[in-house]
Each structure stands twice: as C-alpha cells, then as structure tokens.
Structure 1
Amino acid sequence: MDQIQDKLTGEPFTPARSDQKFATRENQIRYNNLKARKKRRAKAEIDRTLDANRNILKRLLEEQKEVVKSRDYLLGAGFHFGISTHKIEKNGKTWSCVYEYALMPLKDNRLLITKA
C-alpha cells in the first residue's frame, strides 16, 4: 500500500487499513478533539444566551403551569429575544420556544410563558 499523509501532522505513513487517515490513534483523538473544540467555540455565544434564557424562563415558571410577564420584565431579567431554539404552532398562534419553554405574545406588550 502507498504512503499517505496523516490528517493532523502531515507526516507520511503506510496505513494498515484502507480507511486509515492517521498515523497513530493519539493523532486521531487529538484531531477530533481540536475539531470538537473549534465547533464548541463557534457555538459558545449562542449556547450561553440560550442557556441564560432557559434559566430565566425556568425560574419564572417554577411549578406553575403558565405565567404572564411583560416584555420589559423579561428584558430586565436579562432575557434575549433574538435567540430561540424553534417555533411551534399551537391553537392557531405561533409560539417562540427556548428548549422546552414556549412564549406567545399577548396584548399590551406581555407574553404568556408555558412549557411546550
């Protein structure tokens, strides 16, 4: 079999298998860890914001089934309205969701918050 270059170090090696891309298992692990770290860093800011939003909604609901809060109240609590995980249609209304929590705009700049 011909020599190929290790994907991490670029060193030439002769693979033992046809699908082998790394000279050593340690190089493969290091390459995958670096790749995962790069992905985590790229998502970190949004993930932190989503986590903070979820914690705010969790704290507001506690054991209640639903709660109504003003947009200003949520902003004051640190909620970021620009980031959500998904949207759902429920009773003909569009709800913005942060993981398992759903928010639906009401009149007078208030929002109904519930578990989705």
Structure 2
Amino acid sequence: MKEEIMKTAIDPLTGEEFVPKRSNQKFASRKNQIRYNNLKAAEERQAKAKTRKILDSNRKVLQWVTGPNDEVERSMDFLKGAGLNFQYFTHKIKIQGVTWTCIDDYAFALINKNTFKIIKLNQ
C-alpha cells in the first residue's frame, strides 16, 4: 500500500497550518487572501498619505495659479505665499533643454533669478 504524504502550508494572515489544494495556494481560504491583501494595501496607502497630501496641495496651488491659462509666469515669493512646497514633486522632464519640475499634470521651471514659468502638461 502506498502512503500519501500530505504537504502542509502556513497561512500568512492567520498563521494556521492547512493542506493546500493547489501547488501555488498560500492562504487557507479566499477570505484570508482578500483580508491580507486589503491590510497590505491600507498599510501602503497610509505610508504614502502625508506625501500625497502635500502633492495634492501643490497641484491645487498650480491649478489655481494657472487658472484657465495654459501657461503663466509667477515670482517665487508669490508661489511660496500661495503655499507651494518646492521640495515635493512627482517627476522631472526635459523639454528643449529646459528641466521642468512636475506635479502630476503641471510643470514649473525657473526662467530667471526669481520667476517661474508654470505650464499645464498634456494640453
């Protein structure tokens, strides 16, 4: 008689031991898998919340400053007074040799000592 050895696995959420029905099964139940992934996603959202809040605020400032225009020029003092935090941005791009600092779909670049040009991207 052949004895079949049952391999067991440990559920990452509950720590319970179970016999997987598939070779790639990691959780004892679908409910545990969903809960584990939701907790992991919530933890990631919470870690990014402070930064995202500042980025959202910066985007609102640039949106307000540009208004209906596709591009405007404003002084550094004006932008600081409006609440723009120059240390937080999403990415940088280079257009015709000029490096633009971007916050989502808005970009700004220093055009002289104290003046920035702000543009809407993807017009």
Aligned length: 116
2:25 pairs with one of 7, 12, 20: 20
- Greater CA radius of gyration, 1 or 2? 2
1:2 pairs with one of 1, 7, 13: 7
Q: TM-score, normalised by structure 1?
A: 0.94
Alignment gaps of 5+ in structure 1: none
Secondary structure of the 1:106 match is: strand
Question: Does 1:60 pair with 2:65?
Answer: yes
Equivalent position of 2:34 in the other structure: 29
Q: TM-score, normalised by structure 2?
A: 0.89
CA distance in 2 between counterparts of 1:6 and 1:92 reads 53
2:89 pairs with one of 73, 84, 93: 84
Deviating beyond 2 angstroms after TM superposition, the runs of 4 or more aligned structure 1 residues are none
Alignment gaps of 5+ in structure 2: 1-5
Question: Does 1:47 pair with 2:52?
Answer: yes
Query: Residue type of the partner of 1:83?
Result: Y
Query: Residue type of the partner of 2:88?
Result: I
CA RMSD of aligned residues (A): 1.0
Secondary structure of the 1:69 match is: strand
Equivalent position of 2:74 in the other structure: 69
Q: CA deviation at 1:106?
A: 1.9
CA distance in 2 between counterparts of 1:46 and 1:86 reads 14
Secondary structure of the 1:67 match is: strand
CA distance in 2 between counterparts of 1:6 and 1:107 reads 59
Query: Residue type of the partner of 2:119?
Result: T
CA distance in 1 between counterparts of 2:70 and 2:28 reads 56
